[in-house]
Amino acid sequence: MTPTKRFALIAGARPNFMKIAPIIRALERYPDLEVCLIHTGQHYDKNLSDVFFQELGIRRPDVALGVGSGSHAKQTADVMVAVENLIVEANEKGQPFTAVIVVGDVNSTMAAAIAASKLHVPVVHVEAGLRSRDRTMPEEINRLVTDSISDLLLCSEPAGVENLIAEGHSAENVHLVGNVMIDTLMNEVTRAKEQKTLEQFGLLAGQYGVVTLHRPGNVDEPETLKGILQVLAKISEKLPLVFPVHPRTRSRIDQFALRGILDAAPGCRVVDPLGYLDCLCLTSQAKVVVTDSGGLQEESTALGVPCLTLRPNTERPITCSEGTGTLIGNSADLLDLKLREVLSDRYKIGKCPELWDGKAAVRIAELLSAKFR
């Protein structure tokens, strides 16, 4: 059957890739649907991009926009211009897009949504409605703008639905579908545990912590970053830590001359960003995850691993109300207290939220197939 519906699926940065993998698989089961995969190039390093395509079996993008890094305005503008051109070309060729699907909250998500919306192409937002209510976070601006112009809003947790309804969206356009990031986790966790990552880092299951840190709010101010690194160094005296360092964080550590704090902490193993399977191998067998990442908050909850979230707020409240997360802000005392609970097995036990069941992408595909007849 010749496809009658053409969806442009946009991916740009690391956390997008594990979200698009199950969506592509689910959509491609429908013979009347075609997916045009577009990589904006917001992330371009091998270990922030290519490795995820290889490990998750994502096919080569149909279009690579190659926008690269830049200020927020430049990166957003470059993606907007490139996506606009693509939509116009598709229209001129007589192969218009039925809708543009964007995932998550990175600059590429918002930019593609704006370009599509202004050309009257319906926008589908996967992971809609999440709100930290902290407008100093670039992602919060991306979420607000993207949702305000999206036509179909697909939520990963009930708070997303509540926020969108409170903002005036019509209930018929808002759907709780579950969490596509957890689809990928469930699909890959057995294979991930078979990796040799623990041996490679000299770790024993259940006897180490995983740390990630990359939010501008945590890493862009010298005093804040210094305080966090000092706390990590202290923790690592009790529990070995693996710290895969994001390029933004690495460059700030160098710029603020803070490397000495980590060098003086032999229990803290600083490594390059990890691929998906190595990362999941480590997190799934960790005693604790200490992070400011949205994705890791959710993954820890799905895995039942304690997650001490180095943020004052979260747009993913279910990770704290039902899951294994606790908001720590950047309080050294609270981190120490919660860590002691974890180490003495007194930390709370979480549960996996409803619809984080590995089938979110299948529900999304069903909805899209029915909606765009």
For ligand UD1, the closer CB: 248 or 371: 248
For ligand UD1, the closer CB: 112 or 154: 112
Task: Candidates 3, 122, 217, 247: give the one binding ligand UD1 (CB under 6 A).
Answer: 247
CB of 41 vs ligand UD1, minimal distance in Å: 9
Q: Which 42-61 residues touch ligand UD1, going by CB under 6 A?
A: 42-45, 48
CB of 140 vs ligand UD1, minimal distance in Å: 10
Q: CA quadruple 312, 299, 127, 173: dihedral positive or negative?
A: negative
Torsion angle, alpha carbons of 60, 66, 72, 76, to 10: -80
CB of 246 vs ligand UD1, minimal distance in Å: 6
Give how far Cα 156 sits from Cα of 153, 267, 339, 359, 368, Å: 10, 36, 28, 12, 16
Neighbouring C-alpha atoms within 13 Å toward the C-beta of 369:
17
Q: Does 107 bind ligand UD1 (CB under 6 A)?
A: yes
Compute the distance between CA of residue 185 and CA of residue 279 in angstroms, rounded to an integer.
11
Q: Does 214 bind ligand UD1 (CB under 6 A)?
A: yes
For ligand UD1, the closer CB: 44 or 372: 44
Q: Does 297 bind ligand UD1 (CB under 6 A)?
A: no
Helix (H, G, I), strand (E, B) or coil at 135: coil
Q: What are the helix (H) ranges across the chain? A: 14-27, 50-55, 72-92, 107-118, 138-149, 158-166, 180-193, 197-201, 216-219, 222-235, 247-255, 259-263, 276-284, 294-303, 318-321, 332-343, 360-371
Clarify whether 39 is annotated catalytic: no
For 87, the token pair is 């939509």
For 71, the token pair is 């200020």
Task: Candidates 69, 95, 148, 321: give the one binding ligand UD1 (CB under 6 A).
Answer: 69
Q: Does 248 bind ligand UD1 (CB under 6 A)?
A: yes
Helix (H) or strand (E) holding 33: strand 33-39
For ligand UD1, the closer CB: 137 or 364: 137
Compute the distance between CA of residue 353 and CA of residue 56 in angstroms, rounded to an integer.
24
For ligand UD1, the closer CB: 105 or 157: 105
Q: Does 152 bind ligand UD1 (CB under 6 A)?
A: no
For ligand UD1, the closer CB: 66 or 266: 66
Q: Does 177 bind ligand UD1 (CB under 6 A)?
A: no
131 backbone dihedrals φ, ψ, rounded to 5°: -140, 125
Q: Site map for ligand UD1, 2-41, x if CB under 6 A? A: -----------xxx--------------------------
Q: Spot the catalytic one: 39, 169, 214, 246.
A: 214
**Judged by CB under 6 A, how many residues of this single chain contact ligand UD1?**
18
CB of 43 vs ligand UD1, minimal distance in Å: 4
CB of 89 vs ligand UD1, minimal distance in Å: 25
C-alpha closest to that of 213 among 290, 270, 281, 274: 290
Neighbouring C-alpha atoms within 13 Å toward the C-beta of 243:
26
C-alpha closest to that of 263 among 274, 254, 252, 275: 254
Q: Which 128-147 residues touch ligand UD1, going by CB under 6 A?
A: 138-139
Residues of the shown chain interacting with ligand UD1 in the complex, contacts defined by CB under 6 A: 13-15, 42-45, 48, 69, 105-107, 138-139, 214, 246-248
The set of catalytic residues is 214
